[in-house]
């Protein structure tokens, strides 16, 4: 049933987030997705493990829905190992040759994909304080796979790596020098694999080398970030020291005056953890309109819901401010890219982000936009506008494979 050749190479990508673990097995060289699974809502009674076996050239097929409750990531990983061993039996002769792990925060030490060794694991452990909400579950996945598959090379691919090309005046905050030197406080930026993937796809679509292109990439998912890409390299991005900065997100505040949490702490009984939770999980669209689902907010807005109207307006206004600043940062822009849940699916949000910007060379074509074309700008638009489906997992697999091939050659 699975049309794989015995010369194909399989790469397993593990993306272990705060309440979910996603994993995908890609087959190379044709870059097809042969197995994908997700354990979501870990720790809640709604947790489940969905497994899709993607036969090459056919639609994904849900082959299992495990009703077991996954209380911890550790339990989740063991269910995944079990799935992988069953998967292994169905594809005799073919074995996973590389395991790639998405690691959210690479600090300033990890600027490119890195083969995981005992000393790298130790360094990753030391980085935990920079990303206490994200890295622990990433690293747990690395350790479990390291133990379970000691003979398979494993590569860490960092969300921050694509932004290592930011100039110092873009990554430094105007705060005491010692905070930067002693505590490594600077802009790191995230969603790197996504911005890099869609930029590469945009270059293909335009038929030009990425190194010649200036792009503004808008990753609008539950988490959201903008990235200014100059000659193929990231020169600025909206997320900062942590993923909290920048655009208004599903449940994160994005940019706020740094004195707000200080003031709230002074006048309330909130602990550090509660404040962090509120800014990460109960802010953004969730705070303004009680939901992080943009499709729902647009529906409510149509029915005259004022909170939804405000939330959508604030969301779009923040994106437009970043488009404006990146137009100036880049000087010349070839294309604006919309990607991720909202960017790929909401013609309405794309339209509002691009409206009345003809003076800046941005003109969206309403018909193409609604038809979900890849290219949605008007022929008269100096700046192309694109909708590109992101594939962070494939980008991670490509980079990990390239790293291993480079090391071998």
User: At its nearest, how many Å lie between ligand ADP and the CB of residue 9?
Assistant: 27
Q: Which is nearer to ligand ADP, 22 or 186 (CB)?
A: 22
Q: Which is nearer to ligand ADP, 98 or 285 (CB)?
A: 285
Cα dist from 55 to 149, 219, 231, 369, 371, whole Å:
25, 29, 37, 31, 28
User: At its nearest, how many Å lie between ligand ADP and the CB of residue 271?
Assistant: 27
User: At its nearest, how many Å lie between ligand ADP and the CB of residue 172?
Assistant: 28
Neighbours of 104 (CB within 10 A): 26
How many angstroms separate the CA atoms of 244 and 130, rounded? 13
When CB distances to ligand ADP are compared, the closest residue is 341
Q: Which is nearer to ligand ADP, 52 or 360 (CB)?
A: 52
User: At its nearest, how many Å lie between ligand ADP and the CB of residue 202?
Assistant: 18
User: At its nearest, how many Å lie between ligand ADP and the CB of residue 341?
Assistant: 2
Q: Which is nearer to ligand ADP, 188 or 315 (CB)?
A: 315
Q: Given the rule CB under 6 A, which residues bind ligand ADP?
A: 221-223, 250, 292-295, 340-342, 345-346
Is residue 159 part of the annotated active site? The answer reads yes
Residues linked to residue 362 through DSSP beta bridges, in sequence order: 383
Q: Which is nearer to ligand ADP, 107 or 250 (CB)?
A: 250
> For residue 313, what are its two tokens?
């307006």
213: Cβ–Cβ under 8 A, 6 or more apart, which residues?
Answer: 199, 202, 203, 206, 229, 231, 232, 334, 335
3-state SS assignment for residue 75: helix
Burial of 403 (0-12, 13-18, 19+ CB in 10 A): buried
Cα dist from 314 to 229, 249, 296, 311, 349, whole Å:
25, 11, 16, 5, 12
**Is the separation of the CB atoms in 229 and 215 below 8 Å?**
yes
Query: Can you state the angle between helices 306-330 and 294-302, rounded to 10 degrees?
Result: 120
Q: Which long-range contacts (CB under 8 A, 24 or more apart) does 19-26 make?
A: 19/43, 19/44, 21/73, 21/76, 21/77, 21/80, 21/137, 21/141, 22/393, 23/80, 24/393, 24/394, 24/397, 25/87, 25/96, 26/393, 26/394, 26/397
User: At its nearest, how many Å lie between ligand ADP and the CB of residue 124?
Assistant: 23
3-state SS assignment for residue 65: strand
Q: Which of 8, 74, 82, 159 is catalytic?
A: 159
> For residue 333, what are its two tokens?
């822009």
User: At its nearest, how many Å lie between ligand ADP and the CB of residue 153?
Assistant: 27
Q: Which is nearer to ligand ADP, 223 or 246 (CB)?
A: 223
Q: Which is nearer to ligand ADP, 229 or 294 (CB)?
A: 294
Which amino acids are annotated catalytic? 159
């Amino acid at each position: 049933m699975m049309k794989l050749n015995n010369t194909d190479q399989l790469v397993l990508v593990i993306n272990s987030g705060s309440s979910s673990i996603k994993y995908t097995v890609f087959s190379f060289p044709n870059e097809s997705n042969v197995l994908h699974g997700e354990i979501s809502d870990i720790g809640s009674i709604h947790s489940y493990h969905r497994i899709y076996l993607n036969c090459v050239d056919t639609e994904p097929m849900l082959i299992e829905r495990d009703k077991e409750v996954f209380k911890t990531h550790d339990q989740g990983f063991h269910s995944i190992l079990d799935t992988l061993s069953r998967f292994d039996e169905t594809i005799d002769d073919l074995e996973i040759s590389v395991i790639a792990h998405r690691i959210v925060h690479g600090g300033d030490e990890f600027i490119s994909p890195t083969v995981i060794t005992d000393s790298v694991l130790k360094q990753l452990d030391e980085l935990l304080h920079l990303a206490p909400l994200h890295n622990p579950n990433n690293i747990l996945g690395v350790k479990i796979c390291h133990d379970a598959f000691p003979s398979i090379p494993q590569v860490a691919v960092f969300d921050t790596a694509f932004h290592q090309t930011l100039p110092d005046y873009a990554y430094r905050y105007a705060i005491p020098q010692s905070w930067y030197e002693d505590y490594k406080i600077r802009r790191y930026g995230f969603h790197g694999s996504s911005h890099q993937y869609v930029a590469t796809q945009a270059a293909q679509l335009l038929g030009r080398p990425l190194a010649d292109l200036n792009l503004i990439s808008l990753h609008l998912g539950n988490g959201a970030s903008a990235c200014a890409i100059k000659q193929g390299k990231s020169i600025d991005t909206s997320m900062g020291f942590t993923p909290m900065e920048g655009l208004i997100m599903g449940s994160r505040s994005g940019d706020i005056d740094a004195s707000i949490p200080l003031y709230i702490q002074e006048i309330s009984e909130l602990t550090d953890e509660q404040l962090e939770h509120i800014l990460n999980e109960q802010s953004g669209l969730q705070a303004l309109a009680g939901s992080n689902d943009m499709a729902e907010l647009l529906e409510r807005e149509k029915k005259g819901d004022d909170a939804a109207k405000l939330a959508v307006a604030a969301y779009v206004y923040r994106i437009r401010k970043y488009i404006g600043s990146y137009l100036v940062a880049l000087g010349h822009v070839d294309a604006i890219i919309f990607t991720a849940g909202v960017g790929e699916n909401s013609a309405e949000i794309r339209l509002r982000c691009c409206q009345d910007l003809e003076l800046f060379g941005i003109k969206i074509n309403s018909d193409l936009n609604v038809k979900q074309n890849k290219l949605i700008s008007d022929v008269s638009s100096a700046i192309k506008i694109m909708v590109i489906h992101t594939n962070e997992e494939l980008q991670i697999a490509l980079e990990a494979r390239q790293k291993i091939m480079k090391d071998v050659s």
